[in-house]
Chain A
């Protein structure tokens, strides 16, 4: 399977790529927090939208690629739209919440796309109890694509043997994936110890 690593634009030269990871995280949280606090008037949202576009241009991120990723939010917002419209002024409330959501997700993606995963993990290590978080985070990032591929392979194997997988088969495949994962964790531990990893 072909995977798109989200930090691939972090290796380009651009404005956000040059900013320190800690400062970027601080700015990200500050911007999303200020979005929560601004009044529901369109004029207050304009600076944020301009900021997103400026970051996009100066960080050299392809607009279409960025848009494709951001549009994923619509699948979540459909449900929230149908829940909001029952309320008085529901549509207005939804539109402003939607704007906040769209700007927030754009900022998050801009941040992630321009930050090398290694720098992010290094930063997490520095926060309280960060060692365990960064270890688990790095395992997740390292093995997630592999597990997805493995699941696909098992599914293809099932189909090639003439079995059209039903929901129950998918559950058994997931169980099987966990067993493989468990066995892999034992091998990984041995490999880590043999490479000098010491338990802290």
Chain B
């Protein structure tokens, strides 16, 4: 859920932007230091891919549709810092071109979507994957779902701190909606990763930063 400008107060905007921009610059530092520069076109095209995923509507039974985030998926391929960087840029361009989200709320939106999906999801996945390596697919699914749920909790906290909603009243509907989205995102990530494993496994061996 993208938060538009005008729904967060100054302190929430300042804190979330400070955190997200600090992490963005840290990610850029990591990428320029570690990533093979020949991978810049891949980084750019992956950003276009994430953007496309967020724009295309996937039809659901009953006439509704959803769009995917792709943040966790891209971090599984390119790594958490590249994933965060790509998703941040994608969110920024969405706010500029499509009006999804806002300019001052870019910090909050990237914290809710990019940080939870790419960084938190990725490191938790790696931790559990090492602990129980035979359940890789299950961890991919769970972390996709968890990233969305944690993101939705952050979304609620930010709006509550800004005085726009009541946390207790909004918790259930928001968590319910995001759980369904999380399940769909989880199925997407699992199907897409298994597809890549079958069709072009070398993609999954790409340098991760």
Chain A residues engaging chain B, CB cutoff 8 angstroms? 6, 28-29, 32-33, 35-37, 69-70, 72-73, 76-77, 79-80, 82-84, 86-87, 90, 93-94, 97-105, 108-109, 112, 128-129, 132-133, 135-144, 146-148, 151, 167-168, 170-172, 174-179, 181-182, 184-186, 188-189, 192, 199-200
Q: Which of the residues B32, B46, B51, B97 comes within 8 Å of A132, measured between beta carbons? A: B32
Across the interface, do A178 and B192 meet the contact criterion of CB distance under 8 Å? yes
Closest to A128 in B: B25
Are B49 and A177 in contact (CB-based, < 8 A)? yes
Partner of B165 from A28, A83, A99 at Cβ < 8 Å: A83
Nearest A-chain residue to B24, judged by Cβ: A129
What separation, in Å, do the CA atoms of A112 and B93 have in the docked complex? 10
Selected from B43, B97, B100, B200, the residue in CB contact (under 8 A) with A136 is: B43
Chain B residues within 8 Å of A151, by CB: 52, 56
CA of A103 to CA of B169, assembled, Å: 28
Partner among B1, B41, B184, B200 whose Cβ is within 8 Å of the Cβ of A188 = B41
Closest Cβ neighbor of B43 among chain A residues: A136
Enumerate B119-142 residues with CB–CB distance to A below 8 Å. none
Q: How far is the CA of A189 from the CA of B68 in the complex (A)?
A: 28
Are B99 and A140 interface neighbours, CB within 8 A?
A: no
Which positions in B face A, CB cutoff 8 Å? 1-2, 4-7, 9-10, 13, 25, 28-29, 31-32, 37-38, 40-49, 51-53, 55-56, 58-60, 68, 77, 85-86, 89-90, 93, 95-100, 102-104, 159, 163-166, 169-170, 173-174, 184, 187-188, 191-192, 195-196, 199-200, 203
Q: Is the pair A112, B96 in contact by a Cβ cutoff of 8 Å? A: yes
Contact of B44 among A33, A77, A139 (CB under 8 A): A139
**24 A-B residue pairs with CB within 8 Å:** A29-B103, A36-B5, A84-B165, A86-B170, A99-B6, A108-B95, A112-B97, A129-B29, A135-B40, A136-B40, A136-B85, A143-B44, A151-B52, A168-B191, A171-B187, A171-B191, A171-B195, A178-B49, A178-B192, A179-B199, A181-B46, A181-B49, A185-B45, A188-B45
